[in-house]
Amino acid sequence: MRRILLLTTLLFSGVTAASQPDIWVSLFQEKLKEAVQGDVDAQYETGAMYQNGRGTPTDRKRAIEWFQKAAEQGHQQSILRLARMESNQKRFERELKLAESGNMESQYSVGTMYANGTGVDVDLEQARQWYTLAAEQGHEKAEYKLGYLYYRELGDKTNVTEAFKWFSMAARKGNAPAQFYLGRMYADGEAVSKNHNQALKWLRLSMEGGFDQAREEMNRIEDSMNKPDQSREQARKKTAAAPAPKASASSSDRPVTGKDTHNTVQATTTLQSLERDTWLKNGKPAGILPSSINQCISKDSTLVCHSDRRKKSNSQYLISYKSRSVIRKSEQPGSFTVAYRNLVLDVKQRPDEEYQTAIESAFGDEAEQGFKVKTGWSIEHVLQCNFANPDNIVCKKDNGHKNEFTRQEILVGKR
């Protein structure tokens, strides 16, 4: 049982043969032996290892042979995977014809299919060539993927100068993963002089674009930066020693702490006070206001929040997603707007979850499975919000739907 769990973990964790060669080779040899003896699950697993290059070189033809052997015994996952492989091969042939005619979207698709082994054997050199053709026509995603190939995937042909070039092009177009790697290259001085300010600039943009790894990278860089110089330190101490605001200051501008939080609605309307509290919707952490599942930063008189992974469902789908919201104070006292978008990470179809799990195990990328709900960014929604009182916020969505939020401390105090 332990070995089965280990194999399952390795097959779907993304661990490469290069990082765990002994484990993969051992597992492949064991599963191949069991497959030859007729074990249907081992035949499927052997096919998967041939297809993904786990413990053995990638060999699409041998993968199909083992899937067919398992399918002949009624193995459902093998049947599904064979169908998907046949569909992908036909799609590859269609895209290749269009790519050869100069269509940059198809050139990008062919590059991705070569990179992932979708409908064709993995061939990173072919992927590089097709990505280059698309990138030279200005295709943003091809620019990023080409940069990544040069940065990570091409082995002896790794070229950080080329990676920096293509990451830069995609990053300037708003590609969040490219912004992340560009920031990392500035931080580490790869193909460019080290520049922490540039690194943090690009990483912040990447984080605001929903690329979570950027947050950890920013923390790493900030930890490694030198201590503030003496003049900055003196300014900080001077600010810390400054007297507190006088009582005559405007209640909407002065800091709000302790019991003052409950005194007036105006005292809670600044972005600073909104950020300081924790908000709930229907008794759960709010996904678009400051809460325990959100990381929020102040920028240019706005508050930008990114949520942790969230889940929702309806009669058809189980959806995993994250939210990005931008909160801006309105001119009217006690009012603000929230513009938010959801980044759909994966989609599972209901009600037959077992069937859907088989599809995911066999085919991987849900974005290619033709669901009506697809991975990627949703359209933007806007909420018009007002403080009903210091502890409750009422918002109206762009379609008129009402949303209510409650300060967490109030609910906790009532229990």
pTM value > 0.85:
no
Rounded to an integer, what distance in angstroms lies between the CA atom of residue 47 and that of residue 175?
A: 35
Of 363, 364, 366, nearest to 67 by C-alpha is 363
Is the confidence at residue 159, as pLDDT, over 50? Answer: yes
- Taking residues 92-111, what's their average pLDDT? 95
Which of the residue ranges 49-58, 73-82, 268-277, 290-299 has the most confident prediction, judged by mean pLDDT? 73-82
| Contact residues for 195 (Cβ-Cβ < 8 A; gap 6+) | 186
- Provide the 10 A C-beta neighbour count for residue 144: 26
Question: What integer pLDDT is reported at residue 236 of this predicted model?
Answer: 45
- Both tokens of residue 250? 């405007």
The more confidently predicted of residues 275 and 22 is: 275
Of 289, 287, 291, 330, nearest to 312 by C-alpha is 287
Q: For the chain, what percent of residues have pLDDT higher than 70?
A: 73
- Both tokens of residue 93? 């042939």
Which of the residue ranges 33-37, 230-234, 326-330 has the most confident prediction, judged by mean pLDDT? 33-37
Of 366, 141, 395, nearest to 288 by C-alpha is 395
Rounded to an integer, what distance in angstroms lies between the CA atom of residue 239 and that of residue 131?
A: 52
Kindly report which listed range (61-70, 193-202, 248-257, 369-378) carries the lowest average pLDDT score: 248-257
339 strand-pairing partners? 326, 382
Q: Which residue has the tokens 């469902």?
A: 313
- Both tokens of residue 263? 């005194």
pLDDT in tens, 161-216: 999 999 999 999 999 999 999 999 999 999 999 999 999 999 999 988 888 778 88
Q: For the chain, what percent of residues have pLDDT higher than 90?
A: 33
Q: What is the dihedral of CA 180, 182, 186, 188, to 10 degrees?
A: 70
- Both tokens of residue 150? 């040069």
pLDDT in tens, 370-412: 234 566 777 778 888 888 888 888 888 765 678 888 988 755 4
Question: What integer pLDDT is reported at residue 398 of this predicted model?
Answer: 62
Question: What integer pLDDT is reported at residue 108 of this predicted model?
Answer: 95
Question: Which CATH code for domain 138-220?
Answer: 1.25.40.10
State how beta strands 392-397 and 302-307 pair.
unpaired
Question: What integer pLDDT is reported at residue 170 of this predicted model?
Answer: 95
User: pLDDT-based confidence at 107, cuts 50/70/90?
Assistant: very high
Question: What integer pLDDT is reported at residue 317 of this predicted model?
Answer: 66
CATH 1.25.40.10 domain locations along the chain: 138-220
Is the confidence at residue 232, as pLDDT, over 50? Answer: no
DSSP code, position 191: S
At 354, give phi and psi (nearest 5°): -65, -40
Is the confidence at residue 133, as pLDDT, over 60? Answer: yes
| Alpha-carbon dihedral sign for residues 309, 313, 319, 324 | negative
Rounded to an integer, what distance in angstroms lies between the CA atom of residue 387 and that of residue 107?
A: 52
The SS3 assignment for 180 reads: helix
The stretches of 210-330 forming alpha helices (DSSP H) are 213-224, 230-241, 271-276
Q: Which amino acid is at 413?
A: G
State how beta strands 402-407 and 310-313 pair.
unpaired
Rounded to an integer, what distance in angstroms lies between the CA atom of residue 230 and that of residue 221?
A: 20
